[in-house]
Structures are given as C-alpha cells and as structure tokens.
Amino acid sequence: MKKLIAAILACMLVLSMSAALAADKYVIAMDTVFKPFEYTDAEGNFVGIDVDIMKAIAEDQGFEAELKSLGWDAAIAACQAGQADGLIAGASITDERKASGWIFSDGYFTATQCMTVLAGSDIKGFADLSGKMVAVKTGTQGAAYAESLKEANGFDITYFEDSPTMYQAVIGGQCVACFEDTPIMAATIKENALPLEIVEGSENEGAPYGFAVFKAEKQELIDKFNAGLANIKANGKYDEILAKYLD
C-alpha cells in the first residue's frame, strides 16, 4: 500500500514538472459554431477569424495555443474551472462580464448588430414589432441589442442556442425578426440564399469583441495577446485574415 502511494506521488510529481516545463502552451477555449468566427469547414477543419487570429498571435508571440472547440457555455465554464487558459469566441467586452472577474484584451473586431426579417415582411422598423415575438441567440450582442429595444417597442424575446435555429424560427414564422451581427447576417443570407433581409437603418453602433481570461494571474496571456494583435495589425496579417472570411 505504501509503495503504491509512493508510486502515485512520484507520478504526480513528474506530471506536474512536465506541466511546468510546457508553460508556454495555453489551452484556448472556443465556441463550436459562430460563423465566420469559428466553424468547421466542408473538409472538417476548424477554421474562422478567431481561429486564424489566435494562431497568428501565438506564432507572433512564440507560444503554443491548443484550441478547443467546446461550445459557448462550456468554454466559459472551462476558463472558470482552470481547464482552459483563455477564451476567444466572439465575446463582446461588457462591464457586467468584467465585474464577474473576467479580464478582456483589446478589442480585435467590432461588429454592429442589425434586425433581420423575412423577405417582403411588413416589419419596417422597431415600432412594427409591438406585440410580436423576436428571436435572438443567447449571450450575443444581438440579444443585448434586442433587450435594449424591448421595453420601448413592446415585443417579446425568445432565446435560441444557435444561429441556424434562430434563423429557422424567423423563416418558419414562429418569430417575426431576429437580431444578429451585421457581417455574419449578411454573409449567411448570401451564402445560404435564405429568404431573409436586413432591415435598413436597424444597425446599432456596435461593440468590440475581446479575448478573455478569468483570473488576474493570466494577465501575461492578455499582454501577449495585445502585443501580438498590435503586431499582426501592423504587418498586414490581420487584414489578410478578415479579407479571407469577410469578402
């Protein structure tokens, strides 16, 4: 028994040492589908703006980033639990999130949000939403935008877990409109020939997305991210990535 315990302790010691040696490796948690920020392409590769930016910054700063596509809720939990070091998932930088102990990097992308309706719909503005049901995706800035308009315009909100289900709710008529990031919405409508249209003049001013870590001891990762972001913006790599996904 004593020998067994000793052996286990020795194993743990070796493991913790090897973990310490590989200190320059960070586990980055990500969402599963948030096109075009992260998604799996037709060949089965995990790609997107977040993926490419993270890889470019890791290369620039000389650390290894192990990307884990966990899903939005799980990514948040993984960072809190220490299972992951940071999170990049098209997460907007908000004061409420900062108040919960999260630290955000500089914004790496600013998206505006807009309202989208069925093509040929009677809904021409927010006032037409009175008494109707609106679809949003949980945790997005689109949801926050819709919530900010809810009281004044007297509509109700249904929260869906992913974008395809949200679009389906508008196409199927369960909801009359949805709120989504403008570049994503425009790209999705075009790519899939969805019978949807963005309502003119429905855009807000937008909020920046940030890379996030949960604890102050991960500040060095934020510093590296910010430094790397500045570098890839300066050397043109950043524009290259955006151009690749947002044509």
**10 touches other proteins (CB under 8 A):** no
Total count of residues recorded for the chain: 247
**77 touches other proteins (CB under 8 A):** yes
Compute how many other C-beta atoms are within 10 angstroms of the C-beta atom of residue 220: 11
Among 4, 5, 81, 234, binds other proteins (CB under 8 A): 81
- For other proteins, which stretch binds (CB under 8 A), given 9-17, 30-38, 54-62, 97-105? 97-105
**145 touches other proteins (CB under 8 A):** no
Q: Which is nearer to other proteins, 137 or 245 (CB)?
A: 137
| Rounded to 5°, angle at Cα 62 from 58 and 65 | 40
Query: In degrees rounded to 5, what are phi and psi of residue 4?
Result: -65, -45
Structural contact between residues 50 and 69, judged by C-beta atoms closer than 8 angstroms: no
Report d(CA 111, CA 93) in Å as an integer: 12
Q: Which is nearer to other proteins, 93 or 241 (CB)?
A: 93
Report d(CA 45, CA 75) in Å as an integer: 19
**110 touches other proteins (CB under 8 A):** no
**173 touches other proteins (CB under 8 A):** yes
Give the shortest CB-81-to-other proteins separation in angstroms: 8
Using DSSP bridges, classify how beta strands 207-209 and 212-213 pair: parallel, antiparallel or unpaired.
Answer: unpaired
Residue ranges that bind other proteins, judged by CB under 8 A? 72-73, 76-77, 80-81, 94, 96-97, 99-100, 102, 135, 138-140, 143, 158-161, 165, 168-169, 172-174, 212
